[in-house]
Amino acid sequence: MTSIRRIQAVFMKDYRDLLKNAYMLSTAIVPLFFAFMLNQEGEIETTAAFLPIILSMVIVGSFIQAGVIAEEKEKNTLRGLLLSPLNTTEIFIGKSLLSTVLSIMMIVAVIFIGNISMPDQTLLAAAATLISLAVFISLGTIVGLVSRTVMETSVIGIPVLFIFGMGEIIQTMIESELVIDVMGYLPDQQYGQLLLNLREGQAVGEPFFVLSMWVVVSVGLTILIYKKRRFD
Amino acid sequence: MMSEIIEVSNVRKDFDGKRALDDLSFSIQAGETFGFLGPSGSGKTTTIKLLTAQEGYQSGSVQVFGNAVEALKDPKQMKRIGVLTDNTGLYERLTVDANLKLYCNLYGLSYSRIAEVLHEVGLTGEESKVVSKLSKGMKQRVTLARTILHKPELLFLDEPTSALDPVSTERIHCILRTLNEEGTTVFLTTHDMYEAERICDRVAFLNKGKIQLQGPPRTLRVNHSDSSILLLLKDGREQLVGQNPEGAERIREVIASQQLASVHSNEPTLGDIFARVTGKELF
Ligand SMILES: Nc1ncnc2c1ncn2[C@@H]1O[C@H](COP(=O)(O)OP(=O)(O)OP(=O)(O)O)[C@@H](O)[C@H]1O
Ligand SMILES: [Mg+2]
């Protein structure tokens, strides 16, 4: 049985720990700088409009998550949790909650600071954001699980940042149509496209479907890697 | 009630084809302190991982609390054991109190247990200290406090005192003896023969994944004694005599000439026995 109390205990521990962790705290506020820099005067007509949101998901959702997971392994505290009454679901939810909450706070802040013009369909936009966030947090968990130390997460995490967070920029540098097409299916692109479609009153079924597929694949992969790597 | 808490028979464990444990068999009774004594790489940690369902094994059987060891994966069963691994970590940025509170919540215990357990490990008044500021010995006692927070019936300790100073070691031994007197069954690994001798009811010698010998330390020493007697003379010399007419004559002589300072039995230490049985030193 999944216990809220146990999940909350892990969350509170992570929260207390974050407050003492200057490295994580300073990483967490990086998206705010991007939002300032990319402050939008008028409405941007491409998916680039949503770049600061995506960067928040990558930096807080993926990077912080990866760090939090890798640190539990590096400092040998994960084993303690695994040998406690926590079950797999509780560990997953408990260990993802802080970066989820933090990401949501940053996304909201970034939208206001960056003057990002969001679609009027708030509920759909929020759903799309949460689904994408789940993908980025899963990616972060995977990076954290395969890294042995917090430092290693930055090394392994940089390519993730480039591919999943900077697709917008990379696309402008690539010639090959095929690569551009394939990259169009990456979660950041799909998310941007979805918000753009919403804003312009176009259909959002396909990006929603692709994003949901990303959730299934990334969460499945996370669980698989977790089962293999947790007692390493 | 079952008196056999752990029952291991003919267990084999390979890591990628490399044998780590070979035909391992032993059992532990309720209330016992059982020590696994072996050099580095002999398979001590691997044994604890098997006994706590962290690792599987290729053949044989492992039973804990009368059930197959896999039953420990059920959180209800997991609550019956406490595990101190060879590198159990604490959250270094948090206070002692915050570390223990987390585990109170995970086990559904009231916070009043924290003061109790800190008293048990002699750390009363240290709860608001940040873990990173504690000495090594204190950290190990906090880790132990965390391990016994939920009053487990069965305690696994992987080299609980390695790299600790003698005073901290003595403190941990004292805590373990008290826990054992209160009925906790203890399984510990060590490569310190004195530790094994001082706190274990029974020990097993592990070498290259095999148990070479097991029994109470006292019995092992008596069985491996050559029954010779050590005479310490007043001028500082030592003399070893056998239990035979020549020995008796020699003892008579030193007593008659008032040279004798003291008489000792010449039992081997556990380290000597280990070396004799395995041809290897413990370190
Ligand atoms: N995960 C693993 N993968 C491969 N081999 C392993 C693994 N864990 C342990 N071994 C091997 O199994 C053997 C026993 O290791 P183990 O850690 O149990 O020894 P130990 O007695 O605890 O040693 P130490 O006193 O150094 O802690 C060693 O040869 C080790 O290399
Ligand atoms: Mg070991």
Q: What pLDDT digit, counting tens, does each position of B89-131 carry?
A: 899 999 999 999 999 999 999 999 999 999 999 999 999 999 9
Side-chain half-sphere of B251: how many Cα atoms within 13 Å? 16
**Distance from the CA of B92 to the center of ligand 1, in angstroms?**
27
Q: Are A6 and B106 a contacting pair at CB < 8 A?
A: yes
The position carrying tokens 């997991």 is B78
How far, in Å, is the centroid of ligand 2 from the Cα of B45?
Answer: 4
**pLDDT value at A38 more than 60:** yes
Backbone angles phi, psi at B78, to 5 degrees: -55, -35
Among the four given CATH numbers 3.40.50.300, 2.60.40.10, 2.30.30.90, 1.10.3720.10, the one describing domain B4-80+152-222 = 3.40.50.300
- The pLDDT score that the predictor gives to residue B282 is 66
List the single range of B188-192, B249-253, B272-276 with lowest mean pLDDT: B272-276
Nearest ligand to the C-alpha of residue B46? 1
Position A154 scores a pLDDT of 86
Chain B residue closest to A20 (CA)? B93
d(C-alpha A171, C-alpha A173), whole Å: 5
* Three-state helix/strand/coil letters over chain B: CCCEEEEEEEEEEEECCEEEEEEEEEEEECCCEEEEECCCCCCHHHHHHHHCCCCCCCEEEEEECCEEHHHHHCHHHHCCEEEECCCCCCCCCCEHHHHHHHHHHHHCCCCHHHHHHHHHCCCCCCCCCEHHHCCHHHHHHHHHHHHHCCCCCEEEEECCCCCCCHHHHHHHHHHHHHHHHCCCEEEEEECCHHHHHHHCCEEEEEECCEEEEEECHHHHHHHCCCCCEEEEECCCCEEEECCCHHHHHHHHHHHHCCCEEEEEECCCCHHHHHHHHHCCCCC
| Pairing of the two strands B33-37 and B185-190 | parallel
For the Cβ of B20 lying below 6 angstroms from any atom of ligand 1, the answer is yes
Residue A232's pLDDT is 67
Please give the pLDDT value at position B283.
63
pLDDT tens digits for A66-79? 999 999 999 999 99
- Name residue, tokens 């003379």: B233
Mean pLDDT of A163-187: 79
- Best CA proximity match to B55, nearest among A169, A83, A57: A83
| pLDDT at residue B2 greater than cutoff 60 | no
Disruptive mutation site among B93, B99, B101 for chain A (greatest number of A CBs within 10 Å): B93
pLDDT at B19: 92
Residues of A with Cβ-Cβ distance to B87 under 8 angstroms: 76, 79
Average pLDDT on B36-54 reads: 93
Nearest Cα residue to atom 31 of ligand 1? B41
CA distances from residue A231 to A155, B42, B120 in whole angstroms, order as listed: 22, 20, 30
Q: Are A76 and B89 within 8 A, CB to CB?
A: yes
Q: How far is A6 from chain B (nearest CA, A)?
A: 5
Task: Inspect the interface and report whether the beta carbons of A76 and B88 lie closer than 8 Å.
Answer: yes
pLDDT band at A177 (very low <50, low <70, confident <90, very high): confident
**Stretch(es) of chain B classified as CATH 3.40.50.300:** 4-80+152-222
Q: Name the residue of B14, B16, B36, B45 to mutate for ligand 1: max ligand atoms within 8 A of Cβ.
A: B45
**pLDDT at residue B226 in the model:** 79
Torsions phi, psi of B63, nearest 5?
Answer: -120, 135
B149 band by pLDDT with thresholds 50, 70 and 90: very high
Would you state the pLDDT for residue B24? 94
| CB-neighbour burial class of residue B62 (10 A; exposed 0-12, middle 13-18, buried 19+) | buried
Tokens of A160: 């993730």
Contact B52 A86 (CB under 8 A): no
Banded model confidence at residue B1, pLDDT cuts 50, 70, 90: very low
Number of A/B CB contacts below 8 angstroms equals 69
Mean pLDDT of B185-198: 91
Provide the whole-model pTM.
0.87
Chain A residues 59-78 with a CB less than 8 Å from chain B: 75-77
Cβ-based contacts of A13 with chain B (< 8 Å) = 91, 94, 98, 102
Residue A44 has pLDDT above 80, yes or no: no
Atom of ligand 1 nearest to the CA of B16: 4
Please tell me if residue A112 touches chain B, with a CB cutoff of 8 Å: no
Gap between the Cα atoms of B233 and A89, Å rounded: 70
A230 vs B contacts (CB less than 8 Å): none
- pLDDT (mean) for A149-163: 85
The packing angle between helices A122-146 and A150-160, to 10°, is 130
Residues on chain A touching B94 (C-beta within 8 angstroms): 13, 16-17, 20
State if residue B140 touches ligand 1 by the CB under 6 angstroms criterion.
no
Chain B residues at the A interface, defined by Cβ less than 8 Å, are 49, 52, 54-55, 75-76, 78-79, 81, 83, 85, 87-94, 98, 101-103, 105-108, 146
Question: Of residues A189 and B94, which shows the higher confidence score?
Answer: B94
ipTM surpassing 0.90, yes or no? no
- CA-B43 nearest atom, ligand 1: 18
**Test mutation, A3, A5, A13, A87, chain B, max B CBs within 10 A:** A13
Separation in Å, CA A16 to CA A65, A73, A144, B92, B93:
15, 18, 20, 12, 9
**Given this model, what pLDDT does residue B223 score?**
84
The answer to whether residue A108 scores a pLDDT higher than 90 is yes
Lowest-confidence range among A156-165, A166-175, B59-68, B241-250?
A166-175
pLDDT (average), residues A189-217: 91
Any atom of ligand 1 within 6 Å of the Cβ of B40: yes
Average pLDDT, chain A: 89
